[in-house]
Amino acid sequence: MKRIMRYLAFVCFLLTSAYCSAQTGYNFKFKVTGWKDTTVYLGHYYGESTYIKDTARVSAAGEFVFDNKKTLDQGVYFLVLNKNKIFEFLVGSNQRFTLDTKEEDYIKNMKTSDPDNKLFFENMLFNMERHKEAEPLLKVLQDSTLTEDQKKDARANFNKINDKVMAYQAEIIAKHPKTLTATIFKSNTAVKIPDAPKKADGSIDSTFQLRWYREHFFDNFDLSNDALIRMPRPVYREKLKEYTTKLFVPQADSVIKAVDKVIALAKTNKETYKYSVFVFIQEYQQPEIMGLDAVFVHLYDKYFVTGEMDYWATSLKKTLKEHAERLRKSMIGKVGPNLIMQDANFKPRSMYDIKNKYTILYIFDPDCGHCKVETPKLADFYKQNKAKFDIEVYAVSTDTSMAKMREYMKKMDMKWITVNGPRTYVGPHSDLYDSPTTPTLYILDDKKKIIAKKVPAESLAEFFTNYEKFLKARAANQAKPKTPSKT
């Protein structure tokens, strides 16, 4: 009988264990001494944004529970009380734990049943102590009245403190590699670039370190781990931007290759796949560097036209398509579409009728404050350089009022071709040339191929001087006799 009872007890134990291990969802039991009879919110980060995920009622004893059958996405979460963020904690693979603390000092008084959060809060305390040590040293290092020699000891001691922090994090990574705390530490650890080897002729391979760094840039940062999207600082976005802007020449072909490589690394996780594409779409929608709008068109074609992003962006596709098609028509290297609009005398003027070596397409609004600053600069450039560079300006007013356009032309001394954009024979100029803001400027050559865009008026002389040099160098290079190949 005793054997049967022991057997039944053992079976019950197995069933209970199986039930516990099969539990899904999250259950966070909190006790905050000092809180009572109030409502608290569970929030989380996502990129640069924060979101509220759940709500709980605090009892008279300061106890409350967040509980749901659905598992939470991993990352850094926080409590919100009276619209204020109180403290952060981790949500990792273990989502059933307790947190017990006191209002007077949440971090120092924190006790938790979760090993990952234990590491997380211990690190906070460790960093607080290191910060206290570093404070007087930072004051010395930031003192502009001291010489570098006078700061020498402070810098050495500050570096020792930094070494302590790095050693502490390295130990966590080594001892607890599967924790979210270790993942966060590792993601912030820079890769060590090896010395460049010597080539066969004894010289140093000057490109080795850049090539190596590009290849190993994400060794410590798992692009397929979506927990890294839910961090207090947008480290995921920052990492993508650093890779594409600092390690590659800002030319469309180079950037497109870099972007595609990053997205391929993120693709194994739907959330990181979505987020990486979204980051780059935002980054290159209106790029600061001329010509990189081609990256946006590439992203749209490869990830949205193909249906790759349909699992989250079906409603967004129409807007992206409209923008991509505008950019596609007016990208550098493309032949710009013709514009035919009425001038101040109600006569149609075609941009393609301009026979000058260069055409400046200038899109402006008579009421635009920035236009009132840029237009006089363009007028001065035009007077001084029209003949020198063989330039004509085709200016498009975006306002429907012909009277307002005439008044603006007179006030700004506009001696070039000016037309009224809404009085068009070929469709809206904004559908043919991307011009979300005014003024917008394009430069076209004698074949009406777009060679530049959004060049500030004060930089036009420099641009044309450099472009003329480029044309002469290209012509001279093409004129050189080619060395016959050996047969």
3-state secondary structure 12-33: HHHHHHHHHHHCCCEEEEEEEE
**Residue 103, both tokens:** 């209002």
Percent of the chain surpassing pLDDT 70: 94
The answer, yes or no, to whether residue 294 has pLDDT greater than 80, is yes
pLDDT category, 200, cuts 50, 70, 90? Answer: confident
pLDDT more than 90, % of the chain: 87
In this structure, what token pair is assigned to residue 277? Answer: 């594409």
Residue range 319-335: average pLDDT? Answer: 92
Rounded-to-10 torsion of CA 170, 127, 79, 105: 140
Tell me what pLDDT residue 1 has.
Answer: 41
Q: Return the pLDDT at 400.
A: 95
User: Is the pLDDT reported for residue 293 higher than 90?
Assistant: yes
Q: What is the pLDDT of residue 11?
A: 36
Sheet holding 417-424, edge to edge: 348-350, 340-343, 417-424, 391-397, 358-364, 440-444, 450-453
Reported confidence tier of residue 482, pLDDT bands at 50, 70, 90? low
pTM of the predicted model as reported, rounded to 2 decimal places: 0.84
Q: Are 420 and 405 in contact (CB under 8 A)?
A: yes
Interval 45-66: pLDDT, tens: 999 999 999 999 999 999 999 9
> pLDDT of 399-447, one tens digit each?
999 999 999 999 999 999 999 999 999 999 999 999 989 999 999 999 9
User: Is residue 15 pLDDT above 60, yes or no?
Assistant: no
Element (H, E) at 357: none
Q: Is the pLDDT reported for residue 18 higher than 50?
A: no
Cβ-based neighbours of 190, under 8 Å, separated by 6 or more: 220
Q: Which residues are CB-contacts of 357 (< 8 A; sequence separation ≥ 6)? A: 389, 390, 391, 445, 446
7 has a pLDDT exceeding 50: no
- What is the H or E stretch that residue 316 is in? none
Q: Which residue has the higher pLDDT, 200 or 98?
A: 98
Model confidence pLDDT, tens digit, residues 346-377: 999 999 999 999 999 999 999 999 999 999 99
| Nearest by Cα to 272 from 316, 231, 211, 314 | 231
Mean pLDDT over all residues of the chain? 92
CB 242 within 8 A of CB 283: no
What single DSSP character describes residue 442?
E
